[in-house]
Structure 1
Amino acid sequence: MSNRFLLLFLALSAALSPATAYGHAAFVGSTPEPGVRLQVSPRVLTLNFTEPLNRRLSTVKLVAVDGGRRATAAVRAVSNRRLEVVPAGRLSRGAYRIEWHTVSTLDGHALEGSYSFGVQVAAAGGEHSVEQSPFARDGWLRVALRAALYVFALVLVAALLLPTLTRRTSWLVPHVLADALAVGPVRARELRLTGSSAWLAVLAAVGATLAEAADAAGGLAPDRIASFLLANQAGVARLLVVLLLLASALSWQRRSRASAAFAVLALGAVAASGHASSASPRLPSVLNDWLHLVSAAAWLGGIALVVAVWAPALRRAEQSARLAVAREVLPVFGKVALPAFALVAVTGLVSLLTQLGQLDALWETDYGRLLALKIMLVGLIAAFSAGHALRLRPRLLAANPHPPERLERRHWRLVRAEPLVGLGVVTVVALLVTFPLPPRQLGEADEARAAATPACDPCPLPQPAADELSVADQAGRQLVAAWIRRRPDAVTGSVRLLDYRGRPPRVPVRVLDAATTSCGTACVRFRVPEQTDVLHVIVRDAGRTYTVTLPARWQVHANARARRILARAQATMRRLRSARESERVTSGPGSFGATSYWLRAPDRMRYRTNRGVQNVIVGRRQWLKPPGATWQLGQYGAGLRFRTRTWFRWTTYARAVRLLAIRNRDGRRIAELALMDEGTPVWFRVSVDLKTHRVLTERMITKGHFMDSRYFAFDEPVRIAPPESIDG
């Protein structure tokens, strides 16, 4: 490589080597927080982000949820990571949604998200969300252009680089084949394919760059496109892709080594413009992706090149010519393809760990499932290669005098199938690159959001994020609630205490074996440096010490499944003909109540407390009997008709539902769910029999009220009648 190419290499490397790792401009937090209910209209709304913003391209909209009307508001940047939204006037009563669009000056990626808050009403789905579909905002076009760029760039690099790697200038069409068939047309096809790939790669790079710039800039205005391409390193990397491919296209006929160097450097620029540019550590991640692309070009690009050049000629050739190609071309390519495949596998594994963060994201996230599909397709190509190179070709070439036609057809069928599967690999890669945030970076953004939440006293209770668990329990008279996130190397979150009025009590609280910082009165943020299944929260109140154990493990990506289990369980309970419930309740030390309930559909219930109170309800009437008194007839619920189906109500309080675990208990599969409603506030833990879909137990935690219930005797005969008909 000459000095000029060495300088280009060093310049590209320097552009990728800042002292700190970069990430996308992801949402950190806001004032007011997502999901809160405000009593008065806010004067200013503040949004904080993880990275410096391209102020020209980053936008915020304030939208009234009812009707979708955009509220008039001014947006201003008060710092390079903070935006303020100032409503033009007082916001009327209702729910509002903040919709933000950011472009980082560091990596150039565009992100979109939204959250809701309410003014004198509950927020409408207040949980903060980030757009995670690669097809958002005409993403299909960006995917198609990226796929085209990869196809033509990989074939181009293979055509220019393999002569050097094989140490044979004419490895693809060796002179020795001239005795078996006419090689002139084949060489001409090789040259046409190389030239076409070069110019098509340039066109695809231009199209992909413009499409991604238009997505970030919100259109094709020249000044906004220039702001995207020239204001960040990833934008410059996209321009380098175009320029380097153009240099390769202009020089491939005259100086093949120079053209190969330009094409290989273009793959480095492609790596610098992808997700690796925002991974940590940045430079090793980009270099790993660069090596991954170059080795993929030598392997997959080489496969496509061999098939594209030789398939038309071999279709009409004699068997002797086909055997000559199998003997002279494929083994030479195989000596490069095998180590190239090994590099693809190793660098792909490194990239997998970098992008996913934890193994279960491979099957629990859309990004991970796409990555798993890519792995399967790569494995399929490897199996095809092993099949024809190690099993069929030795038998084909050793046959005397002629190999069976069936054996030869199987061999060439596998060879021709490889580039078709490779096209699927490239399409999946284009989808992965177009994803806004891989799982690890999405998790890091959420962790930054949790760590950067400003201290407040008292804090509004937030709705848990999609990857967050909120659970609560009792510590004496106090309610202990936690918001928990799991990371590959730690468990993080916050713990808050509430008294019977829903206010933070002035009592000490700490999390066992955790580093903690204060976030207000009776509020601590914590970080447990090791993976743990439970949190131990220590509370000192009224001279006594309480240790509360909270679950800290759940199925992070099973929220939709948890909600389905809950909805079906509630529907099942409401269809019961009869059931019994045993309830125990306390508000703290020194208080205790126990109640037994009998229910019979559609409108009958009776209960008895541990203090001797009895009650019978039939439709709109109820009979109450205090201890030592006679039965008293009255109306139930101000004349409303009692319905047993309304007794079973969980989805109303299921603003957040999480699947804690599925356990085997006495031969039954039991789903354990955690529910939370931040508005009440109330927390439930519910166990559901997955065979019958019946609720077996529930634990309810709310301010000054801690209750355990057990349900049993489902659909068993029960008699509930007015007192004069009750025996005893």
Structure 2
Amino acid sequence: MSTPGAVGSVGRGGRARRAARHDVVRRARAVLLLLVAALGLVVASAGGASAHATLRDSDPAPGAVLDVAPEQVTFTFDEAVIGVPAGIRVFDATGAEVPSSAEVEGSRLVVDLDGEVPDGTLVVLWRLVSSDGHPIGGSLSFAVGAPSAVVDVPAADEAPATEAPVLLGVVRGVGYAGLLAGVGVAAFVVLLLPPDAVADRARARLRVVARVAAGVGALGWVAAVPLVALYQLGLPPSAVGDPATWSALAPAELVVPAVVLVGLALAAGALPRSTPPGPARAAVVLAGCALAAAAPALTGHTRAASPQALAVAVDVLHVAAGATWFGGVLALALVLGDLARGDAGAVVVSRFSTLAAGVLAVLVVAGTVLAWRVAGSWDALATTSYGRLLLVKVAVVAVAVGVAAWNRLVLVPRLRGAAPGRDARTGRPPSDLLVRTTRVEAGLLVAVLLVTGFLVDRSPDPEASAAPTAAADGEEVRLDTITGEVTLTPLGVGPATVTITMTDDAGAPAEGYEAPRLALSSGDVDLGEVPVVSLGPGVYSGEVVVPTTGEWDVQVSLRTTEFDNPVRTVTFVVP
């Protein structure tokens, strides 16, 4: 027979359990609403971010035939570009190099032809660096007097490597892991550890961890600088000792690592040995954390994303939130077992649990916005190496969020309500399971950082192989007695070449009464007539910029006689 006191105790226990369940459900709903809101932000937000620089125009135009040699060749891009030492070379049709000099003026590349220019075909090979840090390049062919029958230019078909080397990705990952661990652990010590003897022992251990992590991060950021220079400028390792290499590197690639190093030195170096920091020292530590976390946003993809201010601000929040989460989880994994022996364990877990909820919200929203602005489209997630790596990162983060949710919603409330000592069923401290799952969470976040190291230098633009060309699969039109084969190469968004090759019934080159006229349109978008130049008997070509995907109609008009002017249309599907 139960006593009234026992009944009251049971009633209070039941109410406590119901309250705990209600708290879990409430937090789970909040997380679900956050994820739904983030998904809605992606779906509702139209428009893509700008990728790396794209060539918009050149003077002379590709395939142009000039009466006299130009003094300059000008390239115009859709955003600012950075010059590369020996990145511009001009060749004549025999492969002999024509003396030239080049200068970059914002979004324009101006190539001066300094020596005597021979008649025939000329080829300009160019390599530059886009503002997002990715190398770009290509070639331009035009002729003086008449096109050469044979063109033998070295490396004319070689494109610059756009994929960063694996070693750079590994070094970047190590640098980011050290940065986030050093900043996060330092902030954890200042903001979350209470002033008692048990916490002092944890503080002394975490001070060492923060300094080691800061050292690893500094080493990674410093080691990445020469690798970035060689990758962006397309130079051999021997060029590291050449002063021209460093003068050509974008200033941000040198300034950002320096700022990161200063921030890490302040954050880890100002931590006291074992006692709580005073207000002045705590301010120095937090200022160093903010400096180190904000600097990476000033380089990489955010420099090319638009609006740039939004992308940079969101990137800073993303890195700061990641450092808080990763550093906090790492610190808990290392010292929670010791903290749980006293009251400090419950205090620290409660504080970090509250902070982690806000950090998760910032990470989800900031990560979503960054993915939207950098990747630019759903297709980019499947058609680019950047998008595929981003999906891997999202998948690992999702698992880490699941473990974090289990820790915060189930294990933390259980630890708060547990009595001191060991669990009667397992014989272990109540915090033991939380320590183990926290270490799993920390391991998953390390994997996320390694993936991030490869993402930093991956281009969000589609790989060249992702855009099929029309060169081998043109569309034919019948223009009276002339057959024209029309091609659009490459078949993708951006600069393209539309070409028509005309033959008679015997397969010989054919000409009309006048040069053919080609015009492009798609729905409500009309690009108008494309200026074409003759590349040889019966072959005409013109340059165009395809602005969007979808079906594009090429209208072909040819005056075959003085009175006949057949008009035909072919359609290309731009993926």
TM-score tier after normalising by the smaller chain length:
0.5 to 0.7
Among 330, 349, 354, the alignment partner of 1:335 is 354
Q: Give the match's secondary structure for 2:400.
A: helix
Q: Which residue number in structure 1 is paired with residue 276 of structure 2? A: none
Is the 1:72–1:88 contact (alpha carbons within 8 Å) kept by the matching residues of 2? no
Q: Which residue number in structure 2 is paired with residue 548 of structure 1? A: 569
Rate the CA distance shift 1:22–1:370 in 2: closer, same or farther, 3 A. closer
User: How far apart in 2 are the matches of 1:421 and 1:191?
Assistant: 23
Q: Which residue number in structure 2 is paired with residue 701 of structure 1? A: none
Rate the CA distance shift 1:370–1:103 in 2: closer, same or farther, 3 A. same
Within 5 Å, give how 1:70-109 maps onto structure 2.
Answer: 72-77=97-102, 80=105, 81-82=108-109, 84=111, 100-103=126-129, 107=131, 109=133
Q: Give the match's secondary structure for 2:550.
A: coil
The letter of the residue matching 2:85 is L
Q: Which residue number in structure 1 is paired with residue 209 of structure 2? A: 193
Which structure has the highest helix share of the two?
2
Among 34, 38, 60, the alignment partner of 2:88 is 60
Rate the CA distance shift 1:46–1:403 in 2: closer, same or farther, 3 A. farther
User: How far apart in 2 are the matches of 1:245 and 1:326?
Assistant: 27
Q: Which residue number in structure 2 is paired with residue 291 of structure 1? A: 317
Among 457, 460, 463, the alignment partner of 1:434 is 457
**Shift, 1:299, TM fit:** 1.4
Q: Give the match's secondary structure for 2:99.
A: strand
Among 370, 378, 391, the alignment partner of 1:372 is 391
Rate the CA distance shift 1:486–1:476 in 2: closer, same or farther, 3 A. closer
Is the 1:510–1:539 contact (alpha carbons within 8 Å) kept by the matching residues of 2? no
Q: What CA RMSD, in Å, does the superposition of the two structures yield over aligned residues?
A: 4.9
Is the 1:370–1:432 contact (alpha carbons within 8 Å) kept by the matching residues of 2? yes
**Shift, 1:384, TM fit:** 1.2
Deviation digits for residues 575-596 of structure 1 (CA, Å, limit 9, x no counterpart):
xxxxxxxxxxxxxxxxxxxxxx
Is the 1:59–1:101 contact (alpha carbons within 8 Å) kept by the matching residues of 2? yes
Deviation digits for residues 448-498 of structure 1 (CA, Å, limit 9, x no counterpart):
xxxxxxxxxxxxxxxx994655642315336362527788xx898565555
Deviation digits for residues 117-141 of structure 1 (CA, Å, limit 9, x no counterpart):
8964588997674422211xxx51x
**Shift, 1:378, TM fit:** 0.7
Within 5 Å, give how 1:138-537 maps onto structure 2.
Answer: 140=167, 142-162=168-188, 169=191, 171-172=192-193, 175=196, 183-213=199-229, 215-216=231-232, 218=235, 219-221=239-241, 223-224=243-244, 227-228=247-248, 232-233=251-252, 235-253=254-272, 255-310=281-336, 314=337, 321=340, 327-395=346-414, 402=424, 404=426, 411-435=434-458, 437-439=459-461, 466=467, 469=470, 471-474=474-477, 476-477=479-480, 479=484, 481-483=486-488, 495-500=498-503, 501=510, 505-506=515-516, 509=519, 511=521, 513-521=524-532, 532-533=550-551, 535=553, 537=555
Larger RCO: Structure 1 or Structure 2 (Cα < 8 Å, ≥ 6 residues apart)?
Answer: 2
Rate the CA distance shift 1:349–1:549 in 2: closer, same or farther, 3 A. same
Deviation digits for residues 104-154 of structure 1 (CA, Å, limit 9, x no counterpart):
6xx47251545598964588997674422211xxx51x3333222212221
Q: Which is further off, 331-340 or 393-402?
A: 393-402
Which structure has the highest strand share of the two?
1
Q: Which residue number in structure 2 is paired with residue 714 of structure 1? A: none
**Shift, 1:548, TM fit:** 2.2
Rate the CA distance shift 1:235–1:515 in 2: closer, same or farther, 3 A. farther
Deviation digits for residues 193-242 of structure 1 (CA, Å, limit 9, x no counterpart):
2233344433433333344345556433474365246x645544444333
| Contiguous gaps of at least 5 residues in structure 1 | 1-20, 444-463, 555-728
**Shift, 1:55, TM fit:** 4.7
| Contiguous gaps of at least 5 residues in structure 2 | 1-48, 142-146, 273-279, 504-509, 533-539
Within 5 Å, give how 1:577-656 maps onto structure 2.
Answer: none
The letter of the residue matching 1:259 is V
**Shift, 1:371, TM fit:** 0.7
Q: Which residue number in structure 2 is paired with residue 48 of structure 1? A: 75
The letter of the residue matching 1:481 is V
Q: Give the match's secondary structure for 1:57.
A: coil
Taking structure 2 as the reference length, what is the TM-score of the superposition? 0.67
Rate the CA distance shift 1:25–1:143 in 2: closer, same or farther, 3 A. same
**Shift, 1:363, TM fit:** 1.5
User: How far apart in 2 are the matches of 1:59 and 1:465?
Assistant: 26
User: How far apart in 2 are the matches of 1:225 and 1:123?
Assistant: 29
User: How far apart in 1 are the matches of 2:125 and 2:425?
Assistant: 67
User: How far apart in 2 are the matches of 1:222 and 1:130?
Assistant: 21
Rate the CA distance shift 1:111–1:405 in 2: closer, same or farther, 3 A. farther
Q: Give the match's secondary structure for 1:552.
A: strand
Q: Give the match's secondary structure for 2:440.
A: helix
Q: Give the match's secondary structure for 1:332.
A: helix
Deviation digits for residues 406-448 of structure 1 (CA, Å, limit 9, x no counterpart):
997654332111111111111111111122x3227x89xxxxx
Q: Which residue number in structure 2 is paired with residue 132 of structure 1? A: 162
Rate the CA distance shift 1:209–1:247 in 2: closer, same or farther, 3 A. farther
Is the 2:93–2:151 contact (alpha carbons within 8 Å) kept by the matching residues of 1? no
Is the 2:211–2:269 contact (alpha carbons within 8 Å) kept by the matching residues of 1? no
